[in-house]
Amino acid sequence: MKKQLIICTDMEGATGIFEENYKAMVHGTDEWRSIGREYMTSDVLAVCEAANESGIDEILIYDGHYAGDPEHNIIIDKLPSNVRFFDTPQRRFWWRRIRGQADWKPYGIITVGQHARYGEKNAYFPHTIQSPPIKEITFNGIHIAEIGTAVLNFQDTRYIANVGCKSSMKEAKELSDTVATISVKDKEKGWEPNVEETFPIIKKGVLEALRNIDKMKTVKIAESYEFSMTLTEGYIYNIPERVSWKGAFNKSKAFWEAPSVEIGLEIFNFVREYIVKDNL
Ligand SMILES: [Zn+2]
């Protein structure tokens, strides 16, 4: 059977991007173009090389940083020829479309370039999708941000590895205690390696994780699918009289239920529309 690997990437957790050169992850800047994309590509390439040496047939990537702009953060020409990118308009996280383009039973999923959730300590650029205004998102009681969204969209797929900021490992481990955690920077210890150092670390870590694939658990979510989103100080919901999904709002927290994981993740985009600044 064809072995298809899913990779979901973000950029704040990529190698070599810290507060002092943060512009490397600001999409469209000169620093992003000349440095950031190179770093991001190195991390992804390390994963792809390990995957291909382990007998993966096809790699499908969702490049999710700064979704809404069509230009990729990854330099596609530098990747192996068996890599494809999910096709969504402007790289938007249209989760059903993304899920539908993959095999029904992918071999596994790896998250790359990942940062910690809003509020995590010792983290580079911690946030939850966009913070402020978003403080916390939960899904059936699990505290999720970018990592959880990607992994749960591919629920029932083995979660193989998370590559990124040391502080992002907490969210990954909460999703699956068997996931391989491969750090590329550690704020607490002041460990800020460059891509020459992290490339072999990532590659070795992924090779080892793929050797242990039989021990890797899938992340499973049971019905019903219940979500909540809490806002940071200074933001409130402009509570609508009625909405076209099942859900409710109070001032700083919204709740919704959905018939599937992907639909629930997409309703997030509609709930988000009601966030306004609290001018009182
Ligand atoms: Zn990002």
Q: How far is the CA of 280 from the centre of ligand 1 (A)?
A: 31
Q: Tell me: the pLDDT tens digits for 19-54?
A: 999 999 999 999 999 999 999 999 999 999 999 999
Q: Ligand 1 is a single-atom ion; what residues have CB below 5 A from it?
A: 10-12, 65
The distance from CA 160 to its chain's CA centroid, rounded to whole angstroms, is 14
Residue 158: DSSP 8-state: B
Q: How far is the CA of 1 from the centre of ligand 1 (A)?
A: 33
Calculate mean pLDDT across residues 93-108: 96
Q: How far is the CA of 122 from the centre of ligand 1 (A)?
A: 18
Q: How far is the CA of 127 from the centre of ligand 1 (A)?
A: 9
Query: Binning pLDDT at 50, 70 and 90, where does residue 139 land?
Result: very high
* b/e 249-268 (16+ beta carbons within 10 angstroms → b): beebbbebbbeebbebbbbb
- How, if at all, do strands 180-185 and 159-165 pair? parallel
pTM score, two decimals?
Answer: 0.96
Any bridge partners for residue 225, and if so which?
258
Tell me the DSSP string of 107-155. Answer: SEEEEEEE-PPTT-SS-SS--SSSTTTEEEEEETTEEESHHHHHHHHTT
Q: How far is the CA of 14 from the centre of ligand 1 (A)?
A: 10
Q: How far is the CA of 49 from the centre of ligand 1 (A)?
A: 23
- With a cut of 90, say whether residue 85 has pLDDT above it: yes
Yes or no: say if 108 and 88 are a contact pair by the CB < 8 Å rule: no
Query: Binning pLDDT at 50, 70 and 90, where does residue 125 land?
Result: very high
Q: How far is the CA of 2 from the centre of ligand 1 (A)?
A: 30
Q: What is the mean pLDDT of the chain?
A: 96
Q: How far is the CA of 147 from the centre of ligand 1 (A)?
A: 11
Q: How far is the CA of 46 from the centre of ligand 1 (A)?
A: 19
Q: How far is the CA of 91 from the centre of ligand 1 (A)?
A: 12
Q: How far is the CA of 75 from the centre of ligand 1 (A)?
A: 16
Query: Binning pLDDT at 50, 70 and 90, where does residue 279 land?
Result: confident
Calculate mean pLDDT across residues 95-100: 96
Which helix (H) or strand (E) element contains residue 47? helix 37-53
The label of the residue with tokens 């090779």 reads: 207
138: phi then psi, degrees, rounded to nearest 5: -125, 150
Calculate mean pLDDT across residues 102-110: 97
Query: Binning pLDDT at 50, 70 and 90, where does residue 177 land?
Result: very high
- pLDDT, residue 40, reads 98
CA angle 159, 163, 169 (to 5 degrees): 75
Q: Tell me: the pLDDT tens digits for 4-13?
A: 999 999 999 9
The label of the residue with tokens 């298809």 reads: 4
Q: How far is the CA of 24 from the centre of ligand 1 (A)?
A: 12
